Amino acid sequence: MINVTATFLAKQGQEKALETLLTGIIEPTRNEDGCIRYCLFQDEKQPQKFMFQEQFKDQAAFDFHGQQPHFQALIANLDGLLEAEPEIRFYQEL
């Protein structure tokens, strides 16, 4: 099982644009073979911060996700929206 968090920090004034971009990949990602969980959250105290919690069946499913057109479009359209590079973390379930 692959467990991932991906955190995005929007530039001031770009919160809505980033939210639209991020929410746009939820449905197609959830429909991918091997996607177990794919949820987007917005920080209540820091609304420019968004975080995906992701679970994929295995490394092959995670790699497949990264190759999909909706994911590639997300990466291509992040330019100018972020304060910093996305923070990607992998976790082991205990």
What whole-number distance in Å separates Cα of residue 31 and Cα of residue 15? 26
Average pLDDT over residues 7-36: 97
For residues 5 and 93, the model is more confident at: 5
2-91: CATH number: 3.30.70.100
pLDDT score for 49: 98
Question: What does the mean pLDDT of the chain come to?
Answer: 97
CA contacts within 13 A on the Cβ side of 50: 23
Query: How is the chain classified by DSSP, letter by letter?
Result: -EEEEEEEEBPTT-HHHHHHHHHTTHHHHHTSTTEEEEEEEE-SSSTTEEEEEEEESSHHHHHHHHHSHHHHHHHHH-TTTBSSPPEEEEE---
Average pLDDT over residues 65-90: 96
pLDDT score for 45: 97
